[in-house]
Amino acid sequence: MMEAVYLVWSILTTTLTSIILSLFLPFRLLFSNSPPTSSAALYQGTVWHERRRPVHHSFKYHVRYAYIDLDHTPHSLDHLSSQQARDIAQTNGPVFLLTIPPSVGYEQNPLSLYYCYDLEGSTRCLKMCIAEVTNTPWGERVQFLFNPNSDVVAKPLHVSPFMDMLGSWNMKTSVPGDKLMVKISVSHPKLGDYFTATLTANRISSSSVQHAVFFWLMPHKVALWIYWHALKLWWKNVAFIQHPRYESSSYKEDAVARDRSLGCCQTFATQINDQQQEVKDRWFRWRDAKWPWC
């Protein structure tokens, strides 16, 4: 009961705060002399979701992302710094963060990606990515390393109350350029390949774009789509699944064990000699829910 009251209160206060800050936005832009941020490229595109079992449900919505050069941007405490990302990915080049920035007092990022490059002479190549997945409404987060060319990761977080924890995520992303593509498909021991999510986007000219205007209410729209389609799945009688922490306090360790058992991911396989390989655990880091969700 407390969680439901808090959710309603959070929605109301966020709405009120965003309305007030939106009213002040034109005045802030009018008296602002700062140029658009040159350390961030802007992308505009579409997120598409398709669930094929136990019922068919699909939707798409338009999104706007920033691709931020973390080496030339003040460190945000809610994200990794460029050096932290390099240490995790064991790379030596620049690090870029693909994310939806906060807008008028609200932040909503189901998925942010860190692109970690290696320097090879005068050129750079994308070596590793770090995914940063945050669930709604709990606000829990997991960060993990994956190979951008193609990787399989055991599901480490209760992202949706309409999906259990038994699936694995098949992930890949292109090198961001004029176009950008991210694809995640879910494989399940009983349902098979039953879910796919993609992000396709084009880079736009950002030389004269005010970022506060470009991203205005973008996080709010994402949250609205999440709640609206959760309601639709409930209406279609898709089973509601409780958070795994209510059944097992070891669900994080279970995810690491499932990930280890996949045994096919180049991210954490290291060559010991010509005859033997040692499989090391993938790097995961969780952030727990805050009150009253904890």
Instruction: Write down the pLDDT at residue 29.
Output: 72
- 115: how many CB neighbours lie within 10 A of its CB? 24
User: Which residue in the block uniquely carries the two structure tokens 């005859």?
Assistant: 275
| 152, 169 Cβ separation under 8 angstroms | yes
Instruction: Write down the pLDDT at residue 97.
Output: 97
| 66, 41 Cβ separation under 8 angstroms | yes
| 239, 125 Cβ separation under 8 angstroms | no
DSSP β-bridge partners for residue 200: 46, 181
String of b and e for 74-113 (b: at least 16 CB within 10 Å)?
eeeeebbbbebbbebbebebbbbbbbbbebbbbebbbbbb
85-136 pLDDT tens trace: 999 999 999 999 999 999 999 999 999 999 999 998 888 999 999 999 999 9
- CA gap 288, 140 in Å, rounded: 5
| 275, 197 Cβ separation under 8 angstroms | no
The residue ranking higher by pLDDT, 39 or 163, is: 163
Domain ranges of the chain: 37-268+281-287
20-70 pLDDT tens trace: 988 888 877 777 655 555 678 999 999 999 999 999 999 999 999 999 999
Instruction: Write down the pLDDT at residue 63.
Output: 97
What average pLDDT does this structure show over 164-193? 95
Instruction: Write down the pLDDT at residue 38.
Output: 62
- 131: how many CB neighbours lie within 10 A of its CB? 21
Identify the weakest region by mean pLDDT among 135-149, 238-252, 254-268: 254-268
74-86 pLDDT tens trace: 877 789 999 999 9
What average pLDDT does this structure show over 182-210? 92
What average pLDDT does this structure show over 167-179? 96
pLDDT reading at 274 higher than 50:
no
Name residues whose C-beta falls within 8 Å of residue 220's C-beta, 6 or more positions apart in sequence: 14, 18, 103, 106, 108
- CA gap 113, 236 in Å, rounded: 32
The residue ranking higher by pLDDT, 285 or 39, is: 285
Structure tokens given for 204 = 């736009």
- CA gap 157, 140 in Å, rounded: 8
Q: Please give the mean pLDDT across all residues of the chain.
A: 88
Residue 192 DSSP SS3: strand
Q: Which of 27-41, 186-200, 237-251 has the highest mean pLDDT?
A: 186-200
Instruction: Write down the pLDDT at residue 54.
Output: 93
pTM for the structure as a whole? 0.92
